[in-house]
Structure 1
Amino acid sequence: PFDWDIDWLARSPVSVDAIPDIGENQQIVFTQWPGRSPQDIQDQVTYPLTVSLLGIGKVKTIRSNSSFGFSSIYIIFEDGADWDQSRNKIVERLNSLPSGTLPEGVQPALGPDATAPGQVFWYTLEGYDTEGNPTGGWDLHELRTVQDWTVRDALASAGGVAEVASVGGFVREYQIDVDPDAMHAANIGLSDVFGAIKLSNRDVGARTIEINRVEYVVRGIGFIKSVADIEQVVVKVNDNVPIRVKDIAHVSTGPALRRGVFDKEGAEAVGGVVVVRHGENPLKVIQNVKAKIAEIASGLPQKTLADGTVSQVKIIPFYDRTGLIYETLGTLNDAISQEILITVIVIIILLRHFRSSMLIAGLLPLAVLSCFIAMRFFKVEANIVALSGIAIAIGTMVDMGIVICENIVRHLQEAPAEKSRLQVIYDASCEVGSAVLAAIATTIVSFLPVFTMIGAEGKLFRPLAFTKTFALLASAIVAIFVIPVFAYWLYGGKRKPANEKKPRLKRFANLADLIVVLLVAAVLSKYWLPLGPDRGVIASFLFVAVLLILVLAVVMLLTRFYPLILGWCLAHKGRFLMIPLVLIISGGFAWRSLGRGFMPSLDEGSFLYMPTTMPHASIAEAVDVLAKIDSAIKTIPEVKTVVGKIGRVESPLDPAPISMVETVIDYHSKFKRDKDGRIVTDENGKAIRQWRDHIQSPRDIWDEIVAVAKLPGTTSAPLLQPIETRLIMLQTGMRAPMGIKVKGPDLRTIEAVGLQLEQLLKQMPFIDPGTVYAERIVAKPYLEIHIDREAIARYGMRIDDVQNVIEIAIGGKPVTTTVQGRQRYPVRVRYLRELRNEIQELGDILVPAPGGVQIPMGQLVRIEYTQGPQVIKSEDTFLTGFVLFDGKEGLAEIDVVEECQQFLDGKIAAGELILPAGVSYSFAGTYENQIRAQKTLKMVLPLALGVIFLILYFQFKTIPHTLLVFSGIFVAWSGGFLLLWLYGQEWFMDVSLLGVNLRQLFNIHSYNLSVAVWVGFLALFGIATDDGVLMMTYLTQQFKKTEPDTIEQIRRETLAAAHKRVRPALMTSATTILALLPILTSTGRGADIMVPMA
């Protein structure tokens, strides 16, 4: 998956993305009904379609949005449902809808073969000169035309692209604004205008004719090409005088009604979004798109501006997931490389056998590459979570090589000279082979609960379970079958006992080991830079040296004094057993005090600022708000680019109303980095800092954004990121990680309950009151025209006669579509603007009655102001509203939700919150994934423990021995819970080493007991039993050989056997711990997810 530059090696990389797509298995049915209100859409389109779709197999739930002019229905399938079959079932159901289910002319369509998190590439179109400087000079409608008819089609042809959607600018249309007085004078109705325009916009084909043995294709050219063509259309002939369109209307080109606006740093813009097809490799698709952009770049339109500058349209990306993917993979690549270097150092120092050290170190690349091959074969996507499985397994992977190599070296030193080297290596490998296999088996089985997870947590962590299993299996195969073979070749020559080796040769070997260790440590220091890029390589080298010396000194001291320690423990069993007992009890108390959450957020390097304007705001007001927000955010020095959107992209994936602001804020990294996420230095070797001194974290940047972007008439916005937001909205249907879902019989009741909950939640000490927001569902101003049936009956008119005039004269109605090459433009008929801007003017609109009489509409209707819904949301046909909120910084999601639940239950019991009949509420959010994961773990964890117990029993064949090794799991877990508790204490590790605070260095802060942490604990299963299996296996073998009879003999044999096995046991523990240090100190992209697991 890493983009290594190896030209001579053919590559077929695995699919790569930054994070797994943990969204629901969702399909979209999108239906347009232009000009219709949300209530009309809900009653006549969304509800009947939802009822029809509910019967499809494996459907979990159906959510829907009824908005102005369109309906979006989201069919959520169960995780096991096949993606393509799901789409086929929906198409079959839509094709078999009974007649009359939907209004005439309304046609539902299946959404793109993609999900919202597939929006991987956003861009704008801008004018640039030949030197690459922005020039402007392009109108919004010109840029939109280029986007719709050139760029969109070209990018859609790139491999793996599901959709390219346009946003911003103005869609051109021909506008016929009729004059009702002129029409009345000429005795012309709107139906006459409609018919005349339709009949004046068509081409025909007349097959072929043959002239002089030459065949000619005959075409009748009649499509409308210009405003003049429309003006010349004859509507009617009165007294042999043709009445043309220009006689009764004003014809022009202008912008069509728009429900989405794009803004870049305070100025309107035009752009688009590329969506990856489901199941495709995002990185490969983006590369395909960039190749297509390079291909069409020279052919994009250009023009000469007034000052003589030649300006050409360029495609300018502002959100490109490639950077996030490369930085995330770069973090993992660096972590794995640094772990291998640390492992080499530890092995050389502790084993003091250079050839063995190199043999063990060579195991790692071979095992990791084998893991990549398995990922490719089993189609496991490479992402931050999946590759973290390899990163956290490095120490465990090398343990097996250490055990086998150490045993081979010891046997070669102790075996008699006449015994063949082959036999010695064979005996040594067989002696520990069963222990290695048992240790591997327990580690693999420990991840059984992860394989059984469902929903988002399963999609998130199953790839990690696969990769760690692949890595462990590969390392086991290498350790058991490859290392003994290479050891036979490497350990050639005449064998001599250790005490017969020449001192000079031994000193030379030690010197060589020291030189190698220093060189590896120097390389490690240069690329690890644990003290930070601003401290330099020398300081980092000193820190690495001190850290390794401290840890390895402890290991060596334990190795040397282990017989004394073990002897005291055997002599004072009761006192010693109190230590693990106290540890287990303390760990239990620590576990109870830990917060709970689903998953730490991945730092994406960008924010998505999503406030909302008031529902009554017009699109002009919304555009003004968006421009002010973007301009204010751009003033922050740490911000790189700001591109905002109001309303929706022209895609079924985006149902946003015009009150919703979505601003993508890309900020500079703390230090300048290259495309792989590696820090760039200046000529003096110092890292180039890009943040001001008081800005220490992305949270500080967000706080400044909130401070400058808050405007009157806009709501607050939760801290969100682009991918995170799409996933949250896909999972929960709302734009916040936490919220309350309110269901009720009607929208006004739901809104009233939501407002009550909003006021109550603001009183909660666990909740940030600024983030609490109840949706204003019935707050959109409506102008309703009620037809007086008795009045129209007096004139012999029908409802449809009046409704046609309302629809065409006020709203405007497309008549036909012009065909101009590849471009298509609608032709719209409407009354002149000055005749439909006020209620009084609406009342003066004339409605034709039978007999040619024109009746003012005010005599036929009652016009009134009212309020109605901007968007109608429902779930399984039940009307739904949301109350959004967020906990205060540092608080766990589940704890916040549980406190809120108790608080609201208390208010209901006290009578302060009264729910009307038919109203219910439930909490929704990403915390539901954590709850579901906990339930899965409660069922599967005991099963995994049982299987591990059986594996250990098959290894030792006795219950007491099995229980002794098995107890290590609970001791290890207790230690983990205690360490997590200590991480949350501000005094823990709050010391400095070489001028660096260790608490900051090792990312020590409060961690919630998330699924990521639980996955790390599951990894402890195998690690906790590995040393026990190794030690107990050798003890059992020694007891079989010596068959001790007395307690003294047993104690003596125990001390002797344990002393021989303590070095490999401590070496494996040291490598496991030290190999995680690069992850624990990692600050690059993706570290947020890796650190809790480590």
Structure 2
Amino acid sequence: MGSPIEIALRHRLWFLLAGLGVALAGVAAFQQLPVDAYPDIAAQSVWVVTTHPGRAPEEIERRVTIPIEIAMRGVPRVETVRSQTIFGLSLVQLIFEEGTETYWARQRVQERLAGIELPEGASADLAPVTSPCGEVLRYELTSDGTVDLMERRTINEWVVIPRLLRVPGVADVSNFGGLAKQYTVTVQPSKLVQHGVTIDDIVGAIQANNAAAGGSVLPRGSMSLVIRGSGLLESPAQIANIFIKSQGGAPLFLRDIAEVVPAPMARSSIYSKDRTDESVEGIVLLRRGENPSQVLQGVRQAIAELNEGELPAGVRIQPFYDRQHLVDNTLRTVAHSVSLGIVLVVLVLLLFLGRPSMATLIAVTIPFSLLFALVLMWLTDIPLGLLSIGAIDFGIIVDGAVIVGENIARRLGEATRCARERGSGSVSVAPVVLAAVREVQRPVVSSMLMVIAGYLPILALTSIEGLLFRPMAQTMVYALIGGLIFALLMVPVLATVLFRAGYHESSGRVAMAFQHGYARSLRWLMTHRWPVVATVAVALALVGGRVLPRLGTEFLPYLDEGPIWIKANFPEGTSLEQTAEFGKIIRLAVLEFPEVRFISAQTGRTEAWTEPFPPSRIEMMVGLEPPSSWSRFATKPQLVEALARRLRDEFPTTRFVFTQPIIDMVTQDTNGTSANLGVQFSGPDSDRLLDLARRTTSLLATIPGARDVNIEQEGPQAQLIIQPDRRQCARYGIRVEDVSRLIDVALGGAPVGTLYEGDRHFDIVVKLSSDSIASPRAIGRLLLNNSQGQPVPLAQIARIEIADGQTIITRENSRRILTARCDIVDRDSGSFVAEARERFEREIRPSLPEGYRVEWMGMFENLERATRHFALVIPAVVALIFVMLWITFASLRSAVLVLISIPLACIGGILALYVRHMPMSTSTGVGLAALFGISIMNGVLMVRCITAMREGGLPLEEAIVQGALQRLRAILIAAIVAIFGLLPASLATGLGSDVQRPLATVIVWGLFSSTLLTLFVIPVLYRVFRPTLRGSLLRKSD
């Protein structure tokens, strides 16, 4: 039947059609693949969101959070359970093992949640199927001044959000700010006493007069009528006219003792933008796994339809943050780097191969391998992005085709010259092409397999680093497979089509002079081989012993997302309104910077699940003008530093954190802290935890490089506690439930009914007038009727006092936690953490109470995990490559000789990092791992060709020179196209280049040193090692 190459040459048309089919499939896959700037690196988690309005964190923790945590202990594949409990809200996060299917995990959690008995008034549900990377668009609902905040929020909740939720791929839309509409029944305590009415009487009357009924069907001749009782409240007037009781023979209506008006519910959030103090914001959340570009297109279309006619006059939706901006700019950077790399690769091929036809033939490998990779990406659900496509080195992809094409050109050129010398006008092309491909088939396949093996450590990465870099490795492997298929099957077929009349090689004087100079250099170096070996050994020792330790370490380079995310924490207990006033000062200060395009400020938290923060916290998104228009700052970090100085001068006691929106939410969700470093304490007593955290922040603040040092969770705040005196309650005949109901309804404004306005509905709330509950003393004067109907002041049956209570309670794996956090600037995280740990062990660890634990966490934790992973996997991969080399050469010495290419390649990569002031990171580690396999390729070609020359009978030194000369052009082309393929990425500075640049730097300069050392040092080392030949075909002169 023959080999695949022979089959391809016999059935050229079918193989060309198959190649065209792959190309068409790749185009179709490209149109279907989701497009995003960065992979979704958030952990697979499910959130249980429980609202319990009006309840303090301590009560919700005891009655809601802990029971949910207990119920979730048996859920399979759960790695960590975290919770946050604040006023009126409990959030329990279950983090599942990587690879857990989203809806399977939600089903398991829902099953356990259904069996939990929650207290009255508490409502639990699962958060939408989104991720911390899911915020794709933010908009402001603006008005020309004719529509107030309450009406705007109502329009957002009942018109805008329902329309956006119909867009395929939208998981949720959250409202922030504005005034939530409700109908408030405001009661004066004096009128209650005057008419002998209680709060319970009012609540009971409202509920009794807000009901609907159904009375089956009434037959009527040949027809039937459905009987329906319509008693639902539909207007404020109907509420006001509710009958309470008869008094002196006259009816007492609700309007006689209370005022019924539409009024805002108790506020938990204020949204501000630029110089507008209050507005309404919407946050669009992407369903996990959807295509952001397609979803955003649908959202923008829906917004356009709403603006064109569905919104009232004077109201418009103004998007101000669109993730497509990040996607477009990142892909623009990728496209620029990739296209420039491809152009450079083609130019190099033209320069070395001379003939445009051969250069074009080899260059076709690039689109073929890319389209082949796109098909496999579509099959394995890998989105298009910075690290999936942007990190492909098309120079490496074409290396196999370069070697095959260069050998075909050389052999076909020799055959053409021989035919011309014999006077024959034609050359039998197919046999020559077949022989040329067979000659390099084995080294090409083995080399490519070793290149693929170099990506195994990346494919085996887990957690954040795996989610970030695995798509790159998978895409690169797919492209390498496509390039190998093209090199071995399509290049021979196309060569027989393009060069039917033979191939005429041009060998210029410059090339000949270069070859002669290279041969002389090799002979001189072999004569002085021991100084060469010593020089290389010294270089390796210096790079490994002196340069590498000075690089420092970090998890990832700075990932520029575009906007700046500022978090400001004011003193605990600061009111929402006062915090918003502070926020106004911050906004105006930030807008003084001409580099700022907008600033959007969120004070407090939304009523939904997305922002579990107290009223004393502000989160601000700062949009920036294009960096090309900046005049005062060269880089974004410089601008951030200037903003930080300005705001800290204005608010010296406020805790500020400067970060970016996506990375902040992802790291908070995955690591439990958004900081570079977090020191997490767990134990039973909150006061002890607070003391440990404060001592640790004081320690961290003294270490050079620390910034934004504070405690992750807010501290205690003042609470007004009403504690019923059970003995006094019994004495007056009042139940504790009566006291709790007074607090719930009259003070807390708990909903007691619903008013329907068309397809909209709003809560009905009964509250006492604000002046009657303006102080603890006034609250103590509130009256409750005892069992005989006599009024009793609340102060006589309950203790009313102000005491500190928790603002937020955080837990992890059933233990309360508190975290000291800090970011690290102008210093690598590895040395900072090492110093912090050493001082902590010396100064704080000895006083750690029994039963308390400490855990070091944050971004550096990911670095340590990745480092441990590489320390285990890379030696195994090197051993695998060594076994493959041993099998390839059947010689231990040859295998060791080629393996030396790895440290030779590392010399250039590490020196480049040192010169460019780049620390070792997961990104550079990925580059080094990829470099291992790539650097082996040239060594395999060199050693195999030298060995073939020796097997042909040449003396050792002559075999080395002739073998090196024969592979000189192929090695130079393969190396230079690989270098030039990623050179633009190593020098890129655009949005999205931050994580790509260190990786490309390592590969480019590692290949540079590897190529030079392969051409000059490997032949010298071959002379030193003198590998044994298979079959012992050694000449005596050896």
User: What TM-score, normalized to structure 2?
Assistant: 0.90
Q: 1:944 to 1:776 in 2, by over 3 A?
A: closer
Q: CA deviation at 1:560?
A: 4.6
Residue 493 of structure 1 aligns to a residue whose secondary structure is coil
Matching residue's letter, 2:665:
R
In 2, Cα distance between equivalents of 1:494 and 1:1090: 43
Q: CA deviation at 1:633?
A: 1.5
Matching residue's letter, 2:251:
P
Residue 470 of structure 1 aligns to a residue whose secondary structure is helix
CA contact under 8 A between 2:86 and 2:808: conserved in structure 1? yes
Matching residue's letter, 1:367:
S
Q: 1:233 aligns with which of 223, 230, 242?
A: 242
CA contact under 8 A between 1:64 and 1:875: conserved in structure 2? yes
Does residue 1:255 correspond to 2:264, yes or no? yes
The match for 1:702 is 640
Does residue 1:123 correspond to 2:102, yes or no? no
Q: 2:66 aligns with which of 41, 47, 72?
A: 47
The match for 1:93 is 112
The match for 2:605 is 648
Matching residue's letter, 2:695:
Q
Q: 1:1076 to 1:848 in 2, by over 3 A?
A: same
The match for 2:688 is 749
CA contact under 8 A between 1:583 and 1:975: conserved in structure 2? no
In 2, Cα distance between equivalents of 1:848 and 1:713: 51
The match for 1:113 is 129
Residue 718 of structure 1 aligns to a residue whose secondary structure is strand
Map Cα deviations across residues 394-448 of structure 1 (whole Å, 9 max, x no partner).
Answer: 1111222221222111112222216522222111111112111111001100111
Does residue 1:950 correspond to 2:879, yes or no? no
Q: CA deviation at 1:776?
A: 6.5
The match for 2:867 is 934
Once the two structures are superposed, the pairs formed by residues 719-868 of structure 1 within 5 Å of their partners are 719-768=658-707, 771-775=708-712, 777-868=714-805
In 2, Cα distance between equivalents of 1:665 and 1:55: 43
Q: 1:634 aligns with which of 552, 575, 591?
A: 591
Once the two structures are superposed, the pairs formed by residues 189-228 of structure 1 within 5 Å of their partners are 189-209=198-218, 216-228=225-237
Matching residue's letter, 1:1069:
A
Q: 2:100 aligns with which of 81, 97, 114?
A: 81
Does residue 1:296 correspond to 2:306, yes or no? yes
Q: CA deviation at 1:216?
A: 5.0
Q: CA deviation at 1:18?
A: 1.2
Map Cα deviations across residues 199-224 of structure 1 (whole Å, 9 max, x no partner).
Answer: 22233344555667565555433322
Matching residue's letter, 1:562:
Y
CA RMSD in angstroms comes to: 2.3
The match for 1:456 is 464
Residue 658 of structure 2 aligns to a residue whose secondary structure is coil
Q: 1:496 to 1:175 in 2, by over 3 A?
A: closer
The match for 1:375 is 377
Q: CA deviation at 1:559?
A: 4.4
CA contact under 8 A between 1:597 and 1:1011: conserved in structure 2? yes
Q: 1:59 aligns with which of 78, 97, 103?
A: 78
CA contact under 8 A between 1:122 and 1:274: conserved in structure 2? yes
In 2, Cα distance between equivalents of 1:634 and 1:880: 37
Map Cα deviations across residues 953-988 of structure 1 (whole Å, 9 max, x no partner).
Answer: 2221111111111111121123322222232xxxxx
The match for 2:291 is 281
Q: 2:171 aligns with which of 162, 165, 176?
A: 162
The match for 1:905 is 841
Q: CA deviation at 1:856?
A: 1.3
Residue 381 of structure 2 aligns to a residue whose secondary structure is coil
Matching residue's letter, 1:406:
E
Matching residue's letter, 2:208:
L
Q: 1:1072 aligns with which of 972, 978, 993?
A: 978
In 1, Cα distance between equivalents of 2:512 and 2:563: 46
Matching residue's letter, 1:561:
G
Q: 1:160 to 1:1031 in 2, by over 3 A?
A: same
Map Cα deviations across residues 492-541 of structure 1 (whole Å, 9 max, x no partner).
Answer: 32566768xxxxxx9xxx9xxxxxxxxxxxxxxxxxxxxxxxxxxxxxxx
The match for 1:477 is 485
Does residue 1:586 correspond to 2:542, yes or no? yes
Q: 1:378 to 1:898 in 2, by over 3 A?
A: same
Q: 1:252 to 1:558 in 2, by over 3 A?
A: farther
In 2, Cα distance between equivalents of 1:936 and 1:780: 44
The match for 2:902 is 969
In 2, Cα distance between equivalents of 1:659 and 1:369: 53
* Structure 2: gaps of 5 or more residues: 1-22, 1001-1038
* Structure 1: gaps of 5 or more residues: 128-134, 304-310, 500-505, 511-552, 672-689, 984-1005
Once the two structures are superposed, the pairs formed by residues 417-496 of structure 1 within 5 Å of their partners are 417=419, 420-493=428-501
In 1, Cα distance between equivalents of 2:638 and 2:62: 46
CA contact under 8 A between 1:168 and 1:261: conserved in structure 2? yes
In 2, Cα distance between equivalents of 1:848 and 1:263: 45
In 2, Cα distance between equivalents of 1:826 and 1:246: 18
In 1, Cα distance between equivalents of 2:824 and 2:513: 47
In 2, Cα distance between equivalents of 1:217 and 1:118: 47
Q: CA deviation at 1:558?
A: 5.8
In 1, Cα distance between equivalents of 2:319 and 2:967: 59
In 2, Cα distance between equivalents of 1:585 and 1:397: 32
In 1, Cα distance between equivalents of 2:652 and 2:840: 29
The match for 1:680 is none
Does residue 1:978 correspond to 2:934, yes or no? no
Q: CA deviation at 1:577?
A: 1.0
Matching residue's letter, 2:901:
G
Once the two structures are superposed, the pairs formed by residues 329-344 of structure 1 within 5 Å of their partners are 329-344=331-346
CA contact under 8 A between 1:266 and 1:628: conserved in structure 2? no
In 2, Cα distance between equivalents of 1:10 and 1:108: 41
User: What TM-score, normalized to structure 1?
Assistant: 0.85
Q: CA deviation at 1:556?
A: 9.2
In 2, Cα distance between equivalents of 1:263 and 1:1068: 57
Q: 1:645 to 1:666 in 2, by over 3 A?
A: same
In 1, Cα distance between equivalents of 2:269 and 2:513: 69
Q: CA deviation at 1:786?
A: 2.3
In 2, Cα distance between equivalents of 1:1068 and 1:560: 21
Q: CA deviation at 1:795?
A: 1.3
In 2, Cα distance between equivalents of 1:494 and 1:661: 74
In 1, Cα distance between equivalents of 2:134 and 2:46: 13
Q: 1:496 to 1:447 in 2, by over 3 A?
A: closer
Q: 1:38 to 1:557 in 2, by over 3 A?
A: farther
In 2, Cα distance between equivalents of 1:557 and 1:218: 105
The match for 1:543 is none
The match for 1:537 is none
Matching residue's letter, 2:655:
S
CA contact under 8 A between 1:601 and 1:1088: conserved in structure 2? yes
Q: 1:299 to 1:362 in 2, by over 3 A?
A: same
In 2, Cα distance between equivalents of 1:285 and 1:75: 27
CA contact under 8 A between 1:559 and 1:1066: conserved in structure 2? no
Q: CA deviation at 1:64?
A: 0.3
In 2, Cα distance between equivalents of 1:670 and 1:802: 61
In 2, Cα distance between equivalents of 1:494 and 1:976: 42
The match for 1:1034 is 945
In 2, Cα distance between equivalents of 1:775 and 1:362: 54
In 2, Cα distance between equivalents of 1:10 and 1:1066: 34
In 1, Cα distance between equivalents of 2:369 and 2:817: 52
Matching residue's letter, 1:343:
V
In 2, Cα distance between equivalents of 1:556 and 1:172: 86
CA contact under 8 A between 1:644 and 1:662: conserved in structure 2? yes
Q: CA deviation at 1:829?
A: 0.6
CA contact under 8 A between 2:185 and 2:261: conserved in structure 1? yes
Map Cα deviations across residues 609-646 of structure 1 (whole Å, 9 max, x no partner).
Answer: 11112111111112212222223222221111211111
